[in-house]
């Protein structure tokens, strides 16, 4: 078994193969020098902690104990499907019976001239360290893109005292996947912490002379920054698969069992698009930690012949200041919403389809205030439940009681 | 070893639910199972030190509210990614309507 990509998905898949009792050779190939590690902290704790360290998914000892061979700092450059061999950038080759592509995603590049050394992206631990070095009270940070990465980073930068401006081209932050009502809470939290958020503002030009980044907005305003962090989405890493002739459709196209059109090659995590069973097989690609984990584990099962279909409900979260946002399901599946207010200003929006089916739930509140109810909502979504809107909207009705119904 | 500490009244916790209990600078989670037995574990998830009492109890399982790490609260066993370190468990008894735990 060969796994290309040693992030959350690949790392989990390797461990799952052993958990499932597979005793043959397992090789995990990654282009970073580090052990497989969790990426979510990179825009959060790793930015603000005194001594940032990777949060490893598996230690060297565990990998050794599991006889997982880790090939690091090396890229897969070609797949020879006829020969069942992967060629690596160091000139070596790996033979496989089953291959998993867990190549992840990379930051979408800002398609503009003028970017320089002070215009950076965040994906890896090394990226995080480089950004962190610039987060201090005397520095001005421009965050280009008001998505999760950019906003979490803005929160971390404020915590370290930097002056922060977020520039978003869309009319509001978190346009993709987050309801306006919740985005507004986050927007206000940032403003209360001293972040300047400019929405609906395109960028006309960027100039980076190595000492300062000058950003000219379309309306004429100019912003100077010591660092510009660009967080405008992610692109699936598909070149290896495409060159091997595998089907690509907004990611490496896989079926519900995470198989590509080659029966011996699977793909999972950020790099793949797959039919989401709970929404009638709608093809999606998810850039989410839990999805990477779940699909890594499922791919491992299916590489061993389980033929099990993906059935999970998408789940995302974000932490900014003291607020946690959690979303189960994809809210754009909903046609109407029901609001449930919880203690401490927390609330949940339940998204219902036309036929009354609960298809998603988005919650925000301090700490873990929404966690239980979002988890219960997730189970209701998985069951394709059609709970009464009045019950969803009333804090007096326990969601757990709806699950039993 | 016989340091039993009163944590709460038996009725303070619903069936199939959990409550946080802090004592002596430590934090615990006390559970009441669907079949009306009481259990106690360390209060913080072994993944990222989150209070488990804010999580969801389903049958024998407590789920961390943050990243859905799962544990069997009766045995402390970690049940898969992202958690791999088991929770410590503590003896619990109910006496005259009070829940006592041996914090040891």
- Domains belonging to chain A, first-starting first, are 2-106+234-303 (3.50.50.60), 109-230 (3.50.50.60), 322-404 (3.30.390.30)
At A9-52, the pLDDT tens digits run 999 999 999 999 999 999 999 999 999 999 999 998 888 888 88
CB contact under 8 A, A38 and B66: no
CB contact under 8 A, A371 and B51: no
The DSSP secondary-structure symbol of A373 reads: H
- For residue B2, the model assigns a pLDDT of 64
Q: In which band, very low, low, confident or very high, does the pLDDT at A247 lie, cut at 50, 70 and 90?
A: very high
Closest chain A residue by Cα to residue B52:
A368
CB contact under 8 A, B65 and A371: yes
B33 touches chain A (CB under 8 A): no
Q: In which band, very low, low, confident or very high, does the pLDDT at A122 lie, cut at 50, 70 and 90?
A: very high
Which stretches within A25-162 are classed as H helix? 45-48, 60-65, 125-132, 148-159
At A167-182, the pLDDT tens digits run 999 999 999 899 999 9
Name chain A contacts of B50, Cβ cutoff 8 Å. 368
A404: helix, coil or strand?
helix
How far is A358 from A128, CA to CA, in rounded Å?
Answer: 38
Q: In which band, very low, low, confident or very high, does the pLDDT at A78 lie, cut at 50, 70 and 90?
A: very high
- For residue B3, the model assigns a pLDDT of 86
Mean pLDDT of A343-366: 97
Residues of A with CB under 8 A from a CB of B: 12, 15, 38, 57, 289-290, 293, 297, 315, 317, 324, 367-369, 371-372, 375-376, 400
Helices A148-159 and A180-192 cross at an angle (nearest 10°) of 20
Residue A356: count of CB within 10 angstroms of its CB: 13
Q: Is the pLDDT score of A95 beyond 90?
A: yes
Please, which residues bridge with residue B102 across strands? Answer: B4
Q: Which residues, in sequence order, are CB contacts of A21 under 8 Å at separation 6+?
A: none
At A188-231, the pLDDT tens digits run 999 999 999 999 999 999 999 999 999 999 988 999 999 999 99
Tell me the nearest-neighbour CA distance from B52 into chain A, angstroms: 10
At A285-308, the pLDDT tens digits run 999 999 999 999 999 999 999 999
Name chain A contacts of B51, Cβ cutoff 8 Å. 368
Mean pLDDT of B52-65: 94
How far is A130 from A153, CA to CA, in rounded Å?
Answer: 13
Name chain B contacts of A324, Cβ cutoff 8 Å. 66
- For residue B97, the model assigns a pLDDT of 94
How far is A236 from A107, CA to CA, in rounded Å?
Answer: 9
Q: Is the pLDDT score of B1 beyond 70?
A: no
Mean pLDDT of B74-91: 89
Are A9 and A269 spatial neighbours (Cβ–Cβ below 8 Å)?
yes
Q: In which band, very low, low, confident or very high, does the pLDDT at A340 lie, cut at 50, 70 and 90?
A: very high
Q: Which of A289, A290, A368 faces B65 most closely, judged by CB atoms?
A: A368
- Rounded percentage of chain A residues whose pLDDT exceeds 70: 100
Query: Which position has the token pair 């009319």?
Result: A171
B77 touches chain A (CB under 8 A): no
Q: Which of A38, A57, A375 faces B56 most closely, judged by CB atoms?
A: A375
Domains, chain B, in order of start with CATH, read 4-102 (2.102.10.10)
Tell me the nearest-neighbour CA distance from B27 into chain A, angstroms: 17
- Give how far Cα A108 sits from Cα of A121, A140, B46, Å: 9, 23, 34
Tell me the nearest-neighbour CA distance from B98 into chain A, angstroms: 26
CB contact under 8 A, A317 and B50: no
How far is A351 from A336, CA to CA, in rounded Å?
Answer: 6
> Which ipTM was obtained for this model?
0.88
Using left for φ > 0, alpha for ψ between -120 and 50, and beta otherwise, residue A121 falls in: beta
B65 touches chain A (CB under 8 A): yes
């Amino acid at each position: 078994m060969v796994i290309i990509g040693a992030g959350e998905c690949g790392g989990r898949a390797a461990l799952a193969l052993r958990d499932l009792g597979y005793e043959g050779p397992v090789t995990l190939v990654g282009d970073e020098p580090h052990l497989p590690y969790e990426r979510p902290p990179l825009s959060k704790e790793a930015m603000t902690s005194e001594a940032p360290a990777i949060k490893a998914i598996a230690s060297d000892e565990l990998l050794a104990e599991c006889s997982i061979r880790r090939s690091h700092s090396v890229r897969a450059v070609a797949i020879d499907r006829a020969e069942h061999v992967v060629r690596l950038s160091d000139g070596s080759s790996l033979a496989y019976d089953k291959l998993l592509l867990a190549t992840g995603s990379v930051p979408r590049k800002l398609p503009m001239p003028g970017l320089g050394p002070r215009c950076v992206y965040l994906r890896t631990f090394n990226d995080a360290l480089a950004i962190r070095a610039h987060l201090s009270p005397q520095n001005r940070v421009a965050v280009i893109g008001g998505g999760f990465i950019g906003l979490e980073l803005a929160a971390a930068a404020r915590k370290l005292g930097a002056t922060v401006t977020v520039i978003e081209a869309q009319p509001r932050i978190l346009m993709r996947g987050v309801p306006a009502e919740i985005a507004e809470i986050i927007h206000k939290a940032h403003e209360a912490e001293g972040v300047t958020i400019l929405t609906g503002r395109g960028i006309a030009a960027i100039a980076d002379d190595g000492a300062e980044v000058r950003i000219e907005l379309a309306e004429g305003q100019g912003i100077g920054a010591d660092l510009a962090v660009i967080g405008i989405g992610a692109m699936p890493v598909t070149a290896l698969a495409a060159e091997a002739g595998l089907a690509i459709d907004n990611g490496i196209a896989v079926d519900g069992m995470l198989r590509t059109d080659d029966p011996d090659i699977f793909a999972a995590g950020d790099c793949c698009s797959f039919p989401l069973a709970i929404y009638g097989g709608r093809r999606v690609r998810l850039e989410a930690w839990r999805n990477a984990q779940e699909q890594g584990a499922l791919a491992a099962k299916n590489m061993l012949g389980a033929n099990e279909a993906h059935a999970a409900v998408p789940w995302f979260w974000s932490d900014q200041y003291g607020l946690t946002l959690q979303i189960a399901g994809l809210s754009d599946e909903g046609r109407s919403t029901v609001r449930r207010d919880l203690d401490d200003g927390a609330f949940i929006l339940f998204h219902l389809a036309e036929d009354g089916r609960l298809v998603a739930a988005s919650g925000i509140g301090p700490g873990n205030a929404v966690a239980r109810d979002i988890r219960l909502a997730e189970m209701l979504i998985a069951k394709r439940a059609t709970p009464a809107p009045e019950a969803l909207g009333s804090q007096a009705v326990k969601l757990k009681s709806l699950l039993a119904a | 070893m016989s340091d039993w500490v009163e944590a709460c009244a038996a009725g303070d916790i619903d069936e199939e639910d959990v409550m946080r209990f802090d004592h002596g600078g430590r934090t615990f989670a006390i559970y009441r199972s669907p079949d009306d037995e009481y259990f106690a574990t360390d209060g913080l998830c072994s993944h990222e030190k989150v209070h488990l009492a804010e999580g969801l109890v389903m049958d024998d399982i407590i789920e961390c509210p943050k990243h859905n790490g799962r544990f069997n609260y009766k045995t402390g066993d970690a049940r898969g990614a992202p958690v791999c370190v088991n929770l410590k468990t503590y003896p619990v008894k109910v006496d005259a309507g009070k829940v006592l735990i041996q914090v040891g």
